[in-house]
Amino acid sequence: MREALDKALNQLVEESLRMLSLVREMTQKATEALVEGNRAKAEEVISKDKEVDALELKVENEAITLIARHQPVASDLRLIFTVIKALTDLERAGDYAMHVAEDAFTLAQEPPLKRYVTLPEMGRRLLEMMDTLAKAVAERDPGLARKIIAMDDQVDALYEEVSRELITYMMEDPRTITKALTLMRVARSYERLGDHLENIAERVIYWLTGEVYKAPEDVY
């Protein structure tokens, strides 16, 4: 009985990591589409969002079936609920990667406002967060999960930086407003994607330690 439960739990984790890998791929290609002005890559990201959505439903149904069939308790139940809650964040993270791709598709139709520096750096930091998150789950390491919280602070700082820069562009030349607003939307999508990864990291900490961890800015 325990062997069957462990197998089902491991499959749940593996499929969750597969979903994380898909979101990572989308984020990377969306950033490449932005920097390269590559509309084909942007379209590829947009089409892949359906795959993430389908996987979310599949894993959620498997988690519910697992609960009904094995009636897990204690740490096993924490793992299952961590997965179920993380699925929502992963799906939303995929949506934000898709939003970046949609804006990249639009921006690619005209010359760029400027050479992109901060935005691709935000994308790179998000990839690092996802790699660290995958490792934290695979190695059952709450310390790595806690590192993701600090990494999200770096993404937030880059968001503030690019927002200030784009506001300056708009103030100095009103003709840049349309493009600048689209780029600000890209930055916001990156920032929100990072927030969802932070949420997952907090839930991984709960799964592994039983500790309800909240980043300082989340505590009121």
Cβ atoms within 10 A of the Cβ of 67, count? 15
Whole-structure pTM value: 0.93
Give the HSE-up count for residue 61: Cα atoms under 13 Å, Cβ half-sphere: 6
Tokens of 156: 């937030």
**Mean of the per-residue pLDDT values of the chain:** 93
29-82 pLDDT tens trace? 999 999 999 999 999 999 999 999 999 999 999 999 999 988 888 889 999 999
Between 69 and 131, whose confidence is greater?
A: 131
Between 37 and 4, whose confidence is greater?
A: 37
* DSSP per-residue string spanning 88-111: HHHHHHHHHHHHHHHHHHHHTTS-
Q: Of the candidates 61, 49, 68, 23, which has an alpha carbon nearest to the alpha carbon of residue 193? A: 23
Q: Of the candidates 32, 36, 45, 162, which has an alpha carbon nearest to the alpha carbon of residue 99? A: 45
What's the pLDDT at 217? 55
What's the pLDDT at 220? 35
Secondary structure string (H, E, C) spanning 160-178: HHHHHHHHHHHHHCHHHHH
pLDDT at 6 over 90: no
Task: Determine contact, residues 121/49, Cβ cutoff 8 Å.
Answer: no
